[in-house]
Structure 1
Amino acid sequence: MRDEVVTYAELDRLLVSPEDARRRWLDQHQPALPEANWWLHLLLLVEARWDDRPAERPEWTRLTIWLLAEAGRSGLGEREAAERTAYYVAQMRDAGMPASSLPTADAVVRACLDAIPVALDKVAVLDSPQDLATLQIQEMRDSRHARGLLNAAEPHLPDLDDQDLADRLRAWLAVKPRLV
């Protein structure tokens, strides 16, 4: 992680900046090598501003969503960013955040399902605890990642508009109890 500190004043400027200025800021501040901790720290700072500045919460929420998308391409990776975004959006909906500040349930669930590292018909499932001993480590990881993404996506099921997407999520949810 770089030694420089991101100040609240910088975050306040980032909040009102257009996307190209935000990208330039990220290019100047993020570490050369992807570092998840840098992104997590930045997200915590933004969350603190969200808490401190209630009148600007919709804008801070949109910035958080944007930062999570950028982090998915850079420091956190697609899977973790999709999972964190799904949980964040659910939390913000529960907090009464206007829908205009949030991605749709369809976008959130699609990102989660797209981030699952293995196809539904290839994912490792357990019929009994003894099955665990037969799995390779990557099969266990992929199954575990699928479970985490499904846990994050599931609360969005009632809000889905795309029935094909809802059916796809339901198919995954049917095997979720047997995932590692």
Structure 2
Amino acid sequence: MIAGDELDQLLGCDEEGRRRWLDRRQPAPPEANWWLQLLLLIDERWEHRVAERREWARLEIWLLGQAGRRSALGRAEVAERTAYFVARMRDAGTAASALPSADAVVRACLDAIPVALDRVAVPADPRSLRSLELDEMRDSRCAKNLLNAAERHRAHVEDPDLADRLRAWLAIKPGLV
């Protein structure tokens, strides 16, 4: 269990201090549930400490990146969680300077899709799901989940090539598993 005063300490640390804090506390091997609990506790702090929201938002985004780098959470999960978190922060009025750009968020989501656009399973008929391999269904579902998260940032994407790439994926999203 992580105590509230430890979170306050983490918030006040510089990046190197945060790394040391994680090195001392994270279980070995990395456990997804420990990381998810930490992120949940940060979310609670963000909800109740309005004056520090910007700092808590930056900390959560940093922690999501660390969870990916430390192999506690997979690439797709980090991208999806980051996309939803950034959208929530933007909707709550968090300054754009405290958040990753929509381009960075959407690119991370699209790059985390485990299959190419022209290779993803898109069954023409939902009754044909039985004809798909389990991995095909998983990849299609992962793509759909990541697209649901990325789509929340569509209006803020500035890179035209990235916007085209997102549009192409969104065109097939209704057919994904």
Q: Same fold by TM-score, threshold 0.5 exceeded?
A: yes
Q: Counterpart in 2 of 1:80?
A: 77
Q: Residue 56 in 1 paired to residue 52 in 2?
A: yes
Runs of 4 or more consecutive aligned structure 1 residues displaced over 6 Å after TM superposition: none
Distance 1:8 1:137, change over 3 A: same
Q: Counterpart in 2 of 1:134?
A: 131
TM-score, normalised via structure 1 length: 0.95
Q: By how many angstroms is 1:173 displaced? A: 0.3
Q: Percentage identity across aligned positions?
A: 66
Separation in 1 of the partners of 2:98 and 2:76? 22
Structure 1: where are the runs of 5+ without partners?
none
Q: Residue 14 in 1 paired to residue 6 in 2?
A: no
Q: By how many angstroms is 1:133 displaced? A: 1.4
Note the alpha carbon deviations across 1:56-104, whole angstroms, 9 max, x for none. 1100000011111111222111111110110111111111111011100
Separation in 1 of the partners of 2:77 and 2:142? 9
Counterpart amino acid of 1:52? H
Note the alpha carbon deviations across 1:127-175, whole angstroms, 9 max, x for none. 0123211110000000000000000000101100101000000000011
Structure 2: where are the runs of 5+ without partners?
none
Q: Residue 116 in 1 paired to residue 95 in 2?
A: no
Q: Counterpart in 1 of 2:171?
A: 174
TM-score, normalised via structure 2 length: 0.96
Q: Counterpart in 2 of 1:41?
A: 37
Separation in 2 of the partners of 1:49 and 1:91? 15
CA RMSD of aligned residues (A): 0.9
Q: Counterpart in 1 of 2:65?
A: 69
